[in-house]
Each structure stands twice: as structure tokens, then as C-alpha cells.
Structure 1
Amino acid sequence: MKSIYILIFILITCISCKNESEANRLKAVELELREKELNLKERELELKNKQSQEIKIETKKPLNNLFEENKESIFLIEANNSTNNTSSMGSGFFIREDGLGVSNYHVLADAENAIIYTNRGSRYMISEIVNYNEESDYVVFKISNSASNNFRPVKFAKSNPKIGEDCFAIGNPRGLTQTLSKGIISGYRENYIQTTAQITHGSSGGALFNNDGEVVGITTMGYKDADLNFALNTVNFDFFKTNNIIEKPIIQENTNYEEIAVSKIKQYLIALGNNDFAELDNLFAPKFTRFYNKFDLNKYEAITEHKKYAETYPNPQSSIFYNSIKTNRDYDGSITVSLKISNTIKKASWNKSRTYEFEMFVRFNKNLQINSVFTNIIK
């Protein structure tokens, strides 16, 4: 009987050891599976990071794509001074959809009138100087965009590229439009970026871009005998108060502003024909941003200019081509009206009167007072 108990004990012990061994084996298998799972997750994470890096590299746009995206923003400037019989060329770029532009101050310094030529071949007169600084050599201006065209503004970089990074410039050297030059950032000199991207005569006022196609500077000057080219840094110092200018101000709508503006232009032309200078005093704003070939003058200076003209050509008679009238309301509430007029004038020394056709631009401030007038003769 005792033998039977011993046998039973041995069997139970064997079974217990077998169960314990099986449990240990299962535990080891579970640990091995967990380790493999962790390895797989780690490998998966590595692959994701690698794919992310590859995608990042692949999405870096090539230079030709960046050029195509930005060429519409760059334009040619032709500035003239009839008094000195001089002319100059430069470059500029749009910073707002309605045609607000930027260039170097020295491009427009002595200009009596200036025209920009867009990449699509359209011409627009520079109608108003918004902001400028001669020392820093920048100027911000509006163009006679009376057809409500939308232009492509540049994007500005928020940080400086590192020395050695790629960059490129787009400008119009020697009048050769849409010229691309490539280089690197080679240094920083106070408010200037030094670069190996070529900046020659006619490129002044163009844009220097980083390798993401964002503007980092206004191209300013270069030296022939050395690979030294410079651009005003638009990252370190906000030369033209970009945030204030680019942001669209809220304006109060006036549903009949077009009708009022055209009516006031009629009054203006009638007053000129009658030499009614008191009426001009009522129509004019206290300050003029532009009056024909002159910039920044008060209304009494403008009226005096009209009086001088009347002494030579008294009682000019003007007719409006009403189908030519176009109006555009700017973001700041000002209004530009463009129209074609015929102007008949006569001098005492002439046997008969002469008639000319003009394209006329009249700008009103938000209070619907005339603060800019200029013309472009057609024939």
C-alpha cells in the first residue's frame, strides 16, 4: 500500500514539473514574441523617418520651378526726366495683389514720370509714392491699376538664410527682362546681404530669393571686377513696413462712389475750360501725391500750375469718351478713375485750334477729393 502512495507522489511530482516546464516555455515564447514586436515597431519607425526625409528632399522645388512661380511678380521700370532729357531702367516687384510695388529709391530719384512693364507685356504708370527712404534706398509705390487686375505678390522670408545656402535673383539687367541669376549667400554687412548672385545695371530694385522662393532682400548693387553683389535685407529690418502696407485696411463702402467720382471729373474739366480756379479749390484734396510730372505738392501749387497753363492755352475744351471709363477702389479707400478724353486747345498765335487725345488718370482719396492727376498722350 505504501508503494502505491509513493508511486502516486512520483506521478504528481512529474506532472507538476511538466506543467511548470511548459509554463516556463510559454513564458519564454511570449517574451520572444514581445521582443520581436518591439523590434518590428522600431524598424517601422525607422522606415517612417527615412520616408519622411526622402519626401522632404523630393518636395524641395528645383530652381526652374521657383523661377516660374515668381517671375510674374517681377517687372521692368522705365523712368524719364524730360527736363534733363535723361532716362533710366530698373526692376521692381509686387508686394500686394492690387499692384503695390517696391524698388530702389535711386531708380526713381530724378523721374518726372515712370512706367512699369509686367512679364505679360502690360504697361502701367507709377501714380503715387507711398513710402521711401533715400538713405536705405527703397521706395514703395502704387500703379495706375484701373482695370482691377490682380497681380502676384512675392512671399517674404521670416528668417535669414545661412551663409553658404543657395539663393537666386530675378531682375532686368540692361533691359533684358526676367533674367535669372543664381548664387549663394556669402555674407551679411549691416542691413545688406552679400551674395554671389549677379546684380548688374537694370537689376536694381529686383528681388533676392532664398532657396524656398521667398524674398530676403531688394537687389541693390554689384561690382564688375569682383563677385560682390548686395541686397537690402528685408528680414532683419522691415524697410517698407510690410505688415502695415500689405494688410488690407477696412473701408466703409459707398455704393455710388463711381458715379460721384465721374461726376467730379466732369466738374474738374468744366472748371478748367472756364478758368474757374475757385471750383478747383473745392475739388482738390489738401495734398497731392502726383500732379502730372510732379510728386508731393499741395493743392495751391497744383492750382498755380493750372493758372500757368491757362495763360498759354486759355479755355481748353475737353470731351470724355464715356465707354473708356474704368474705376478701381483701392484697399485704403482711394479710387482711381481712368478715361480717355479729347482736349481742344488754341493759342493766339495759331491759325486754328488743335485737338489731342489723352489717357487720363484721376485718383481720389477716401473722402472723394482729387489728390492725383496725370495723363498719357495717345495722339
Structure 2
Amino acid sequence: MKAIHLFIVGILILSGCAQKPKAPNRKYNHLANKVQSTNIKPHQHIEVAKPSSTSELTPSEIFERYSPAVFKIHTSTGYQGFQGSGFFISDDGLAVSNYHVFRGTTVGYETIILSDGSTYKVTDVYYKDSENDFIIFRVGINHKISYIKIANITPKIGEKVYTIGSPRGLDNTFSSGEISQIRDNGNILQISAPIDHGSSGGVLLNSYGEAIGITSGGIDDSGANLNYAINIKMIKPYIPKQ
């Protein structure tokens, strides 16, 4: 099972969704020097928000309510620029994305671009996991912002799901699909919702508008729309207490 897990994660990274942004003409310092493993221990009891609604939301309602909580990320190695996505999980700037969006890039010149066009920096990194490909960090924003609640349960195969991200740099693109399969003991969600390069780190939502996954990559040119997301349950033990 370990070998299968590493194989799947390898696919996500190799066919992942970071792409070169437009004109990142600045000097950079290595983000890898900033992103350090912390001594945070997995919490045994995490308070997770209950569904925000007792009834399902329409696709338009989901987009209108939660699109402002999703942002675009520009990073660079100093020679080559990349673009990914991320989303807020608290109203004070706590956010998540894929670790591979930041791997080997630079400190201090990464740019977080909100849906309204405002830009911010990463101020703290709380946890990174290169094997499972996620990172938890804080964006330096000084006012309350829109965020997406974390789901309590993993959806079943066949359930409707929605994604918001920035494929090919197209900000806050919305797509829909189903859970195609649940793999790697529930850690990987296979989805039919379309994603592309630049979608890495975007949010996968259920019909209640809750985050159920982090969109991570797919198999290019498969002809079968084979895309994947990291189950949001993977990050729960490492969310810092507020």
C-alpha cells in the first residue's frame, strides 16, 4: 500500500498544476529555506465546523459564496516562475495549498492574489508535508476574509463535487464533476471535475460548500478526465489551534 501511495503522489506532482505566470521579473530568495517542518504534534481532538446549511446549495450559490476564499499563487525559483492556487480555511488568513506549488521556490517574493485583485505575502508556515503534498500557512491580511469550512466526512463515490482554482492562470474558474473513486485508504479522491495546470492547491467542495479536498493534479492526455485531490482529512491533525 505504501508503494501505491507513493506512486499516486508521484503522479500528482509530475502531472501537477503549477504553471509559469506572466512576467515574474523580480529577484527572489529561496522559499525552501523558509518552509521548515515544525514541532506541531497532531491534535487528538479538532473542532470541525458542522455543515453551514442543512440543505444542499446550488452550483451558483457555492461559487458566489466561496469563490472569494480561493486565491492564485505566484512563486519562482529565481529563474522560472510558477502559478498555483490556494484557499482560506479561517477568516484570519489561515490557508492551505499543495506543497509542490512552493517546493524549491523563493521566500519573500511569492505573491498571493485574491479574487478582488489585492495582493499579499505568506507570513508563517505552520506545517508542510512533501510526501502527502500539502502545506498550511498564513497570509498576511489584516481584516476578516471569506473562508471555507472543512467537511466532517469523506463523500461517497458518485457524489457531486465542485472545484474552484486558477487553471492556466484563469482566476477563480469553477468546474463540477463526481467522485470517480476513493484511493489509497481514502487519502486520494479521484474526481471527474476538470482541472488543469495552475489548479494545484485549489479547493474541492461538496454540495454544502465545504472543503473536502485539495485539487492536486491529473493524468495528462488520458482521454478519461482522470484528476485527483488530496482528501482534506489529511490536513486536519496539523491545523494550528486558533
Normalising to structure 1: TM-score of the pair?
A: 0.47
Cα deviation, 1:124-174, whole Å, max 9, x if unaligned, reads 0112221100000001112222xx211112111111211111111000001
Residue 129, structure 1, aligned to residue 121, structure 2: no
1:164 counterpart residue number: 158
Residue 201, structure 1, aligned to residue 203, structure 2: no
1:115 counterpart residue number: 111
- The alignment yields a C-alpha RMSD, in angstroms, of 1.5
1:94 counterpart residue number: 88
Q: Give SS of 1:241's match.
A: helix
CA contact 1:183–1:196 (8 Å) conserved in 2: yes
Larger RCO (CA under 8 A, 6+ residues apart): 2
Q: Give SS of 1:140's match.
A: strand
**How far is the alpha carbon of 1:223 from its aligned partner?**
2.0
The one of 211, 224, 227 aligned to 2:225:
227
CA contact 2:159–2:179 (8 Å) conserved in 1: yes
CA contact 1:97–1:153 (8 Å) conserved in 2: yes
The one of 168, 180, 204 aligned to 1:186:
180
Q: Give SS of 2:110's match.
A: strand
CA contact 1:131–1:240 (8 Å) conserved in 2: no
CA contact 2:89–2:150 (8 Å) conserved in 1: no
Cα deviation, 1:220-248, whole Å, max 9, x if unaligned, reads 0012323100000113xx32535x42x42
CA contact 1:170–1:207 (8 Å) conserved in 2: yes
Name the amino acid aligned to 1:90.
G
1:13 counterpart residue number: none
1:152 counterpart residue number: 146
Name the amino acid aligned to 1:154.
I
CA contact 1:104–1:138 (8 Å) conserved in 2: yes
CA contact 1:129–1:141 (8 Å) conserved in 2: yes
Name segments (4+ residues, structure 1) moved above 4 Å.
none
Q: Which runs of 5+ in 2 are unaligned?
A: 1-53
CA contact 1:192–1:232 (8 Å) conserved in 2: yes
1:138 counterpart residue number: 134
State how far apart, in whole Å, the 2-side matches of 1:177 and 1:105 are. Answer: 20
Q: Which runs of 5+ in 1 are unaligned?
A: 1-55, 249-379
Name the amino acid aligned to 2:231.
N
Q: Give SS of 1:213's match.
A: coil
Cα deviation, 1:32-69, whole Å, max 9, x if unaligned, reads xxxxxxxxxxxxxxxxxxxxxxxx8xx53210011111
CA contact 1:198–1:222 (8 Å) conserved in 2: no
Q: Percent identity?
A: 38
State how far apart, in whole Å, the 1-side matches of 2:192 and 2:237 are. Answer: 27
